[in-house]
Structure 1
Amino acid sequence: MNHERFYSRVNGPTLHRVNAVRWLDEVSPRHLAGGGDPRHVTEHLLASGWSNHSVVGFPHVLLESPDHHLHLTLEPEPDERSTWWRIHPAEDRAWVAQFGGNTPAEVIAGFTDALTSTTPQHPTADLWRLAASRGWATRRAGRERAALSPDETAVLARVSSLSETPRWRWDVEVSIPLSDTRRLWVWGASIEEAAPAAALAGFVDALTDPTPLLRAEGQTTGHTFGFLNSLRSTVTPEQHRLLHLQRLQATERLGPPEQSPATPPPPQGSPRHRRRR
């Protein structure tokens, strides 16, 4: 049965069918824009050659990189504080990147789009300079460091685990004030510093970018009312859909990255791996 017959978010609002969406809003700051459409991440990875291992009938997404070295899992949870997105190496779990459900897909894409990047490593200091240049106020506490967003609703911090051999990670906490002493959690993220440097830099770049994000009516979270700036966009839902398709087509033209020479070829006679969509 064709899914387009169903009244479902899978049919829109902007990526596959326009449906009844009349307009889009440009919302900022982007870290309060809500999760948006996860296909901004997943369809781009599929266009980049990642394979789909999701189980039919179960509400999750399981993707594997073309070289079989990386896994992405998207598993929605009822609790907003829970981790929805996980990206990590397939075998040794040397690092993990985790994102909550209200993390904007465009910010997660800053990380995933750069996973196969060959861009030279960015020194940590460059990331703090990038955040500061965009109005994020930096502060130190010993070896740890943090940056506060201009609206003071998001904190980006570099912290270490409490262990004999500490592991450094980059944490994000987004919350809005309810009173002088209480705050309402919106979303959180954590990326271990052993993750690919280009991907970490892509995430920080996407997080601190002051450019508004496009959202349809009802896509933003209700508890950010009063903290989110919204302006009717001149971009139509159809134009937004076409921009998304152009992004996928550009990725498909580039093709997946070349297979690493360190990866042994499959044994003779083994079944071929088929990419599933």
Structure 2
Amino acid sequence: MKRTQWQGWGPGEQAQQHYLVEPRALAGDGDVRYVSEFLRASGWRDTSKRGGPLSMESQDRTVRIVYNPYVPPGGWTVNGAAKGHQDEWWAHLGSQTPVEIVAGLTDALTRPRSAHAPNVWAPFQEQRWRTPPNAEHVTAISPDGSAWMQYHQAPGGEAMWWSGANDGQGNGWAAQFTSSTPMHLVQAFSTALASPEPVMRPLGRVPRSARIRTTSVSVLPSQLGAWQQARITAARAAVWSRNSARTGRPHAAARPHFPVDGTRTRR
């Protein structure tokens, strides 16, 4: 296996082996801070109690996010209070839901709603997910069959969004959204779920599955820190931009961050 160093390596740093994993839906949970630090940088309050689960609350206190992997069924719970014409809603995502997919929903909670009408199914159509014509419920299935999204209409009239992934070997997760969940949030989730981009996991955190493909990458701790900081900086810049727009102060655009490419070994 051939390896070369990243450009710009600093003295005293040791490379760490990571893997780019695809499909992302089967990559395993990942680092919770990917979600929580972005929310914190976006102005959300950390309401966690010492020794308890992660708990975050929006600035207007209408949305609460809890991550608790210890109490069954475990995972992420998002509760939205009724506000104006918006009914109360909730979403639950299993503990093995990749944080990059969770962030599709939670990042969207920090941004203004788009003026365009949301379309939950558009991301799946763009990525050529299958939509079985004779399915009992409206369903989209990934090309490899490992992930799905469904609008489930119960006989009694109750409806909900149901999603998840399963490799047939015990690895997987499920997510549910009430029918009252704002559609732009469900679309943000579906966009993250349908994305063909791989996600990164460290050595020892890649699920054992015949259904995933991995690419070995050697990275530095400082490199990983820079990527995380770029995400936090983007969140802070968005908050500052919105505040500047409200107060009428001019502002400069945030400079984009591009990670340095390294050597990848496919397996």
Counterpart in the other structure of 1:191? 177
Find 2:167's aligned residue among 176, 182, 191. Answer: 176
After superposition, where does 1:18-33 map in structure 2 within 5 Å? 22-33=16-27
1:118 aligns with 2:104: no
Deviations 1:13-40 (A, max 9, x none): xxxxxx9771221110000000000111
Name the structure 1 match of 2:7.
none
Within 5 A, what are the aligned runs for 1:4-83?
A: 22-58=16-52, 60-77=53-70, 82-83=73-74
CA 1:185–1:229 in 2, change beyond 3 Å: closer, same or farther?
closer
Conserved in 2, the CA contact under 8 Å of 1:24 and 1:236? no
For residues 24-65 of structure 1, give each alpha carbon's deviation from its aligned partner in whole angstroms, at most 9, with x where no partner exists: 21110000000000111111111111111111022x011110
- Tell me: CA distance 1:253–1:57, structure 2 relative to 1, closer, same or farther (3 Å): same
User: Aligned partners of 1:119, 1:228: CA distance in 2, in Å?
Assistant: 34
Distance 1:21 1:90 in 2: 45
Letter in 2 for 1:171: W
Q: TM-score with structure 2 length normalisation? A: 0.76
State the one-letter code of the partner of 2:191.
D
Distance 1:34 1:148 in 2: 19
Query: Is 1:145 aligned to residue 111 of structure 2?
Result: no
Q: How many residues align?
A: 226
Distance 2:202 2:135 in 1: 43
Please state how far the C-alpha of 1:134 moved relative to its aligned partner: 0.7
- Residue equivalent to 1:130: 123
Once the two structures are TM-superposed, the CA of residue 234 in structure 1 deviates from its matched residue by 6.1
Structure 2 portions without partners, runs of 5+: 1-12, 244-267
- Tell me which residue corresponds to 2:265: none
Classify the secondary structure of the residue corresponding to 1:233: strand
Match status 1:209 vs 2:202? no
Report the counterpart of residue 87 of structure 1 in structure 2. Answer: 78
Against the structure 1 CA distance between its residues 162 and 73, is the aligned structure 2 distance closer, same or farther, given a 3 Å change threshold? farther
Question: 1:241: which partner in 2?
Answer: 225
* 1:130, distance to aligned residue in structure 2 (A): 2.2
Separation in 2 of the partners of 1:254 and 1:155?
Answer: 32
Distance in 1, matches of 2:165 and 2:14, equals 31
In structure 1, the residue matched to 2:210 is 226
Letter in 2 for 1:228: I
Displacement, 1:176? 2.0
SS at match of 2:160: strand
What per-residue deviation string (whole Å, max 9, x for no partner) do you get for residues 90-134 of structure 1? 4687211110011000001000111243213534xx432320221
- Whether the 8 Å contact between 1:113 and 1:199 is mirrored in structure 2 is no
Q: Give the drift of 1:83.
A: 3.8
Residue in 2 that maps onto 1:200? 186
Identity value in percent:
27
Spell out, residue by residue over 1:133-166, the C-alpha distance to the aligned partner (whole angstroms, 9 max, x if none).
Answer: 2121112457721111111111211112443xx3
Contact 1:128–1:138, Cα closer than 8 Å, also in 2: no
Per the alignment, residue 150 of structure 2 pairs with: 157
| 1:255 match: secondary structure | helix
Contact 1:83 1:98 in 2 (8 A): no
